[in-house]
Chains A and B, each alone.
Chain A
């Protein structure tokens, strides 16, 4: 078990789990930039069917295509959540009528519990930076997805303590954060700050 935070991308059999390849490095850069959290310089890709996925406190899962967990994947995801891990699922299609949304939410409901709206006052939004809700992305209205600005994130919360077990986003952070960290200097406001909240929340809440 390593003492530093390792950003883990979940690999699953059914879809394009690697559709945001630059996102992990960008988030690691953000964590290093704003926090004192010891962080590994590179992320890892871990298969959901592999027991090693249980080592990581936060798993990031994205894609465009249908999500169908195998039995092994389903079993591990359930164990991961039961052990206190936080699964962050982001719909790369940002489309509530899209196949990823429909299949992933169905799979989460089947594996863990149905998703519900996460209030914008949830401690996640003030875990590090203060947000009034999930920060909007430049991709939500780009004409490809459902063309909605999604006001809320979805989540499965644990019975005790209101803590998030699964966080589901239609905001398409996978597109928003999928760029080389060096390009961050061209932004007036760093758009990856919410990722700090995610990591800090996953590690502390």
Chain B
């Protein structure tokens, strides 16, 4: 065996010793931490999160300790350092071994001591690992002597292990209600995981869930009361348990053990019905013929899961008082998911529809609630109607024709433009051409005048002036505006007396007077145009246009109501009216109803109790919360916050939550910066 082989052998021994020591010291560090934490937990319970964190910290501490130790002694892997380590213990080598390891020439080394190197290394290694291994053994003995629950809680912390926690000593008269664990198993259809709570005071659970309360000790004498129901506890291996099912109504569960009592608020969470949205068809329709396919689509969502979804249709046939109905479903699916899209197509031919029939369509979904359901959700309903043969197409919209006055305005303006153009080119025209064009305009003017005349006389109920048969010198031409208005007024049977136009004219006259003025102006204009004098005709034509426009404006009514005349009752405004107030003392009526008043009273008592007995106040808050859950959820939440804060000893948070609860109960204070009157909301 060569010298170098001896050195390697020593190195192996030293490395193994270091490895054992590293592992032992690291394990010891972790064990020490966990033992310390377990002892603390024995005295005062540590939470799940704290224990889980301590477990991680212990593991990290062990690894860190081992790593630092290994790093410190890492040179044990070097042959040179091992050679020096041997030289220290065998000075007679006089550094020949170190030289041999460096040069690879072992002839300079005295081999007589080589046999003892390994033995020395083994002794040294044994001495080094002895202490940590012994410490581990001691720690193991301590672990074995500890109550079982301590080790289990530290090794695998989880919710609900509080009833496994060991305690120092045992008191036969102690409450079996502490520790208390609740295991909540939701209904199977929800697919939700079960949960466990330590020391439950406020349990939220889906309706139909099973809650099992468990505690230490036998169950004899332990009873849970919910309303008028009493549920005795069952016993199993020094553990008691009470199982109950969550109803739809909130409840306060009182668990009683001799003189001890715990209150647990149970807040049911209702399973909502599916929400169904009909995507297609997007609107109601009327079809001319019952043919084709209608695409159907709907979106469905539910909080726990959709058991089935389908489209439903109802066909209503008939008219008057005789109707028949047929119904059916299509596109049924079983999504088994919380969201689903349903689609189908409805063939109208398959429904054998007749004109006048109406198809009502909607989507329906059911959830898987087999406890209180199933919850049924429906979409809005669309209707598809088949048009009757004799049904008029109501879509067509015809544009309204302009009123007669509008047409007259347009025509008169056009004639003015023609006359102006003719007057402009007049110097360049021959007499014959001028006369011909001017008479053409005159003919149009005459036609327009007759139209205006018909409007007036038709409206007034009289006869047409009949001027078509009269020429310019006809006696009817000589009718003045007053004559014609007199005829018009006579036609309305208002009076046979001459009309006083200076004031107080009737609406009939007011509306038609401008038209008659236009009528006469047009007559004068056409006369001038007949003799080829468009320049002289234009003022009459413009007068006619202005008169027609006045007539248009006269027919537009702008009504304005007369406001009421208000006389302020100053005495009443100053509360100095009839109320003398001497027979009885006036008291402001209470702002709240009887139930709210009772609640305010209870709340005040609880706040007062909180200063003397916080635990009792917390229980009272929970009871009040149960009472308020149904009709005042915000108030109930504030109470829950207050109870939680009080339980954790956070007085400022509890005060804030109680103040919030008080505000919610009594209503927010109203800031008034103005005076108010009795009986009037400010």
Chain A interface (Cβ < 8 Å from any Cβ of B): 21-22, 25, 28-29, 32-34, 39, 41-42, 129, 180-181, 185-190, 193
Chain B residues with CB under 8 A of A181: 566, 568, 573
Contact between B573 and A29 (Cβ–Cβ < 8 Å)? yes
Chain A residues with CB under 8 A of B568: 25, 28-29, 32, 39, 41-42, 181
Out of B563, B564, B567, B674, which one reaches A193, CB within 8 Å?
Answer: B674
Chain A residues with CB under 8 A of B677: 33, 185
Chain B residues with CB under 8 A of A22: 563-564, 566
**What is the chain B residue whose CB lies nearest that of A18?**
B563
CA distance A84 to B681 in the complex (A): 39
Chain B residues with CB under 8 A of A189: 673-674
**Would you give the shortest CB distance from A36 to chain B, in whole angstroms?**
8
Contact between A34 and B675 (Cβ–Cβ < 8 Å)? yes
Residues in B528-577 with C-beta less than 8 Å from chain A? 563-570, 573-574
Contact between B570 and A42 (Cβ–Cβ < 8 Å)? no
B221 contacts partner chain A, Cβ-Cβ < 8 Å:
no
Contact between B682 and A188 (Cβ–Cβ < 8 Å)? yes
**Would you give the shortest CB distance from B564 to chain A, in whole angstroms?**
7
Contact between A185 and B566 (Cβ–Cβ < 8 Å)? no
**Would you give the shortest CB distance from B145 to chain A, in whole angstroms?**
74
What are the 5 A-B residue pairs with the smallest beta carbon separation, nearest first? A25-B566, A32-B573, A21-B563, A185-B680, A32-B570
CA distance A170 to B354 in the complex (A): 66
Contact between B674 and A185 (Cβ–Cβ < 8 Å)? no
**What is the chain A residue whose CB lies nearest that of B563?**
A21
CA distance A29 to B571 in the complex (A): 10
Given contacts A189-B673, A189-B674, contact A33 B574 (CB under 8 A): yes
Out of A21, A32, A190, which one reaches B574, CB within 8 Å?
Answer: A32
**What is the chain B residue whose CB lies nearest that of A181?**
B568
CA distance A81 to B565 in the complex (A): 29
**Would you give the shortest CB distance from A178 to chain B, in whole angstroms?**
9
- Give the interface centre of B568, B573, B673 by most chain A CB atoms within 10 Å: B568
B interface, over-half SS? loop
CA distance A190 to B680 in the complex (A): 12
Contact between A180 and B567 (Cβ–Cβ < 8 Å)? no
Chain A residues with CB under 8 A of B566: 22, 25, 42, 180-181
CA distance A185 to B572 in the complex (A): 14
Contact between A190 and B567 (Cβ–Cβ < 8 Å)? no
Chain B residues with CB under 8 A of A28: 568, 570
CA distance A22 to B565 in the complex (A): 8
CA distance A34 to B682 in the complex (A): 13
**Would you give the shortest CB distance from A48 to chain B, in whole angstroms?**
22
Out of B563, B564, B674, which one reaches A190, CB within 8 Å?
Answer: B674
Chain A residues with CB under 8 A of B567: 25, 41-42
**What is the chain A residue whose CB lies nearest that of B576?**
A32
CA distance A39 to B573 in the complex (A): 11
- 12 sample A-B contacts, Cβ–Cβ < 8 Å, listed by A number: A22-B563, A22-B566, A25-B567, A32-B568, A33-B675, A34-B675, A41-B567, A41-B569, A41-B570, A42-B568, A185-B682, A187-B682
Chain A residues with CB under 8 A of B673: 129, 189
Contact between A180 and B570 (Cβ–Cβ < 8 Å)? no
Cβ proximity bits B666-682 to A, threshold 8 Å, 1 near / 0 not: 00000001110100111
**What is the chain A residue whose CB lies nearest that of B561?**
A21
Given contacts A42-B568, A180-B566, A193-B674, 14 further A-B contacts (CB under 8 A): A21-B563, A25-B568, A33-B573, A33-B574, A34-B675, A41-B567, A41-B570, A129-B673, A181-B566, A181-B573, A185-B677, A185-B682, A189-B674, A190-B682
- Give the interface centre of A33, A41, A190 by most chain B CB atoms within 10 Å: A33
Residues in B628-682 with C-beta less than 8 Å from chain A? 673-675, 677, 680-682
Chain A residues with CB under 8 A of B674: 34, 189-190, 193
CA distance A186 to B568 in the complex (A): 18
**Would you give the shortest CB distance from A63 to chain B, in whole angstroms?**
14
- Give the interface centre of B563, B570, B682 by most chain A CB atoms within 10 Å: B570
**What is the chain B residue whose CB lies nearest that of A30?**
B573
**Would you give the shortest CB distance from B578 to chain A, in whole angstroms?**
16
Contact between B573 and A180 (Cβ–Cβ < 8 Å)? no
**What is the chain B residue whose CB lies nearest that of A191?**
B674
CA distance A28 to B565 in the complex (A): 13
Chain A residues with CB under 8 A of B574: 32-33
Contact between B570 and A39 (Cβ–Cβ < 8 Å)? yes
CA distance A193 to B673 in the complex (A): 10
Cβ proximity bits B567-594 to A, threshold 8 Å, 1 near / 0 not: 1111001100000000000000000000
**What is the chain A residue whose CB lies nearest that of B571?**
A32
Chain A residues with CB under 8 A of B681: 185-186
Cβ proximity bits B159-193 to A, threshold 8 Å, 1 near / 0 not: 00000000000000000000000000000000000
CA distance A39 to B682 in the complex (A): 23
CA distance A62 to B586 in the complex (A): 44
Chain A residues with CB under 8 A of B573: 29, 32-33, 181
**Would you give the shortest CB distance from A188 to chain B, in whole angstroms?**
7
Contact between A180 and B675 (Cβ–Cβ < 8 Å)? no
**What is the chain B residue whose CB lies nearest that of A184?**
B680
CA distance A180 to B564 in the complex (A): 9
CA distance A187 to B676 in the complex (A): 11
CA distance A193 to B675 in the complex (A): 11
Chain A residues with CB under 8 A of B680: 185
Chain B residues with CB under 8 A of A41: 567-570
CA distance A41 to B571 in the complex (A): 10
**Would you give the shortest CB distance from B660 to chain A, in whole angstroms?**
23
**Would you give the shortest CB distance from B455 to chain A, in whole angstroms?**
34
